[in-house]
Amino acid sequence: TAATTEMAQVRSHYGIGNRLDSPNASAAMAVAAITNGISRCASVQVVGGLDTHYENWTDEQGPIQRDGFDLVAAIVEDLASKPYKGSGSESWLDHTTIIGFSEFSRTAMLNANTGRDHSLTNACFLLGAGIKGGQVIGASSDVGMSPQPVDLATGQLDPGGEVIRPEHIHRSLLEGLGVMDDVADLRVPSIPSLLS
């Protein structure tokens, strides 16, 4: 039947095996929920096992991260392939913003166990609707890996600028949706260089 064929295509695209409690199945369900009008927001944990304080950093971290980024790529491809509400020229990716982040970051330097410890400096990626892609906003210092101040209008390093915090991202996304009042009382400006 058509439903069986469609399910086989979804399983193949996302690499879903027999376990429906996998990140791959969760990603497929998130896209289905968004594109079928079930939800306007979905959250997916694309990988686990990144807490590598010991020598497993050199062997395990790269493949785990690659699996996560491959899953994000599958989500992007799926959203880009689906016409938005019957539109011939726009896809669901044109109407969906994807944010990828970790709840904590890793130091840039290896520790005494050839692993990496937690850090207060973090990064995230954004893509899709409303995001001006193809750029890096911000940087860390060469010594100490501290976040550096940025001119929010240009996204370039500026000693007189601001260190970007999660609330800057939140404020930018709210403004991208047209929410201009500071209803969340974020007390920070948006990042104009982030938005398209």
Please report the pLDDT score of residue 148 as a whole number. 93
Spatial distance between the Cα atoms of 75 and 14, rounded to a whole number of angstroms: 8
Contact 157/150 with Cβ under 8 angstroms? yes
Q: Give buried/exposed letters for 127-161 (b at 16+ CB in 10 A, else e).
A: ebbbbeeeeebbeeeeeebebbebbbeebeeeeeb
122 phi-psi bin (left φ>0, alpha ψ -120 to 50, beta other): beta
Distances (CA, A) of 91 to 72, 77, 83: 17, 10, 4
Spatial distance between the Cα atoms of 141 and 110, rounded to a whole number of angstroms: 17
Contacts of 52 (CB under 8 A, 6+ apart): 60, 61, 115, 116
Spatial distance between the Cα atoms of 24 and 158, rounded to a whole number of angstroms: 40
Beta bridge partners of 105: 119
Return the amino acid letter for 151.
Answer: D
Spatial distance between the Cα atoms of 114 and 109, rounded to a whole number of angstroms: 9
Q: Averaged in consecutive runs of 10 residues, what is the pLDDT profile of the chain (196 residues)?
A: 85 90 94 94 90 76 89 97 87 95 79 83 91 92 86 95 92 89 82 93
Please report the pLDDT score of residue 118 as a whole number. 84
Please report the pLDDT score of residue 144 as a whole number. 77
Contact 128/98 with Cβ under 8 angstroms? yes
Distances (CA, A) of 82 to 35, 105, 145, 189: 8, 33, 41, 34
Please report the pLDDT score of residue 157 as a whole number. 94
